[in-house]
């Protein structure tokens, strides 16, 4: 099925459904929430590969917008990833009721700049959303992401119970699951994780950030966390991964809270290979990708390469 045809069918089905739980009830009792009865399977949001360009770049600069600009230009610039008239969904980490200084959520300055660039490239709409672990309204506001994204022209959506569609993920562990429809009914997906320690998976970067597209009782996935991360990464391959390593949470993740757990790295990674992006990002946490279960499994599954240098890695320092 062509993506446009899929979007039309999924959109019509979603319009026919009505949510029955309140937003408060959904976020505090997800297991009883009802979801739109639609089973679909998405495909990749990727753009065609370009052998003349690196699949991963890193730029280090004390100005986060400059760091983003250098890294993005080196992988082909925003117009490689967003065409006029396309709908773009941006997935930051907005999971936690924390300030930007605490480095639990994606840097709002970077989110706002990516929104601006997508609209400049001709996107018909840019949606910024996530399924937080803490209270959604507080997370979106306190992280600074709601204000930055709206100021740049995005539509910022706090998920409601009626915004989910039961989706065929097609994974080994994840089969059908409620997925926030904005991550399915779109033309392009830009994943914007922050680099953090994680008490279960070792680190949470690009692939783990995709947990935030899911509703339902996500905690049960932690029993086989590596496989669930890889299932999600295979299901929803982003157009572009923009990794925030301006501030990193190097311990007590993923929630953080103490500024003593934060290191300033002033770096941004742009990648079309999410495995390579995670492998490079893990080094900020003192980890070797070969020792991180979900990164190893993702490479074995064919989702990318751990050897990020083999992906034409380019590092820019100004």
pLDDT digits (tens, 9 = 90+) for 77-136: 999 999 999 999 999 999 999 999 999 999 999 999 999 999 999 999 999 999 999 999
CA angle at residue 112 from 207 to 30, to 5 degrees? Answer: 50
Among 10-14, 57-61, 259-263, 309-313, which stretch is predicted with the lowest mean pLDDT?
A: 10-14
Question: What pLDDT, on a 0 to 100 scale, did the predictor assign at position 136?
Answer: 96
Query: How far is the C-alpha of 316 from the C-alpha of 71, rounded, in Å?
Result: 7
Domains and CATH numbers, the chain: 3-23+34-317 (3.40.50.11440)
pTM of the model: 0.88
Predicted confidence (pLDDT) at residue 26 exceeds the cutoff of 90: no
Q: Which residues contact 295 (CB under 8 A, 6 or more apart)?
A: 207, 275, 278, 279, 282, 289, 306
């Amino acid at each position: 099925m062509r993506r446009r045809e899929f979007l039309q069918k999924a959109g019509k089905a979603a319009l026919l459904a009505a949510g029955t739980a309140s937003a408060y009830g959904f976020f505090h009792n997800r297991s009883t929430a009802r979801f739109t009865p639609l089973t679909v399977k998405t495909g990749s949001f990727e753009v065609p590969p370009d052998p003349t360009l690196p699949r991963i770049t890193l730029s280090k600069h004390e100005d986060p917008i400059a760091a983003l600009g250098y890294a993005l230009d080196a992988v082909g610039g925003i117009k490689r990833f967003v065409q006029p008239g396309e709908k773009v969904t941006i997935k930051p980490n907005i999971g936690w009721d924390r300030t930007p200084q605490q480095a639990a959520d994606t840097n709002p300055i970077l989110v706002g700049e990516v929104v601006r660039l997508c609209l400049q490239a001709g996107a018909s709409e840019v949606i910024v959303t996530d399924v937080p672990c803490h209270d959604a309204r507080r997370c979106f506001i306190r992280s600074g992401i709601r204000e930055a994204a709206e100021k740049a022209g995005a539509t910022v959506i706090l998920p409601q119970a009626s915004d989910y569609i039961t989706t065929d993920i097609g994974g080994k562990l994840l089969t059908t699951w409620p997925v926030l429809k904005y991550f399915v009914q779109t033309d392009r997906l830009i994943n914007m994780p922050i680099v953090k320690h994680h008490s279960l998976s070792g680190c949470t970067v690009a692939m783990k950030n995709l947990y935030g597209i899911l509703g339902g009782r996500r905690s049960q996935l932690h029993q086989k966390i590596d496989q669930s991360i890889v299932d999600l990464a295979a299901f929803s391959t982003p157009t572009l991964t923009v990794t925030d390593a301006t501030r990193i949470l190097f311990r007590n993740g993923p929630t953080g809270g103490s500024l003593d757990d934060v290191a300033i790295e002033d770096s941004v990674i742009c990648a079309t290979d999410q495995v390579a992006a995670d492998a490079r990002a893990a080094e900020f946490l003192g980890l070797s990708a070969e020792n991180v279960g979900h990164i190893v499994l993702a490479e074995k599954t064919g989702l990318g390469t751990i050897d990020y240098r083999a992906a034409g890695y380019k590092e820019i320092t100004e």
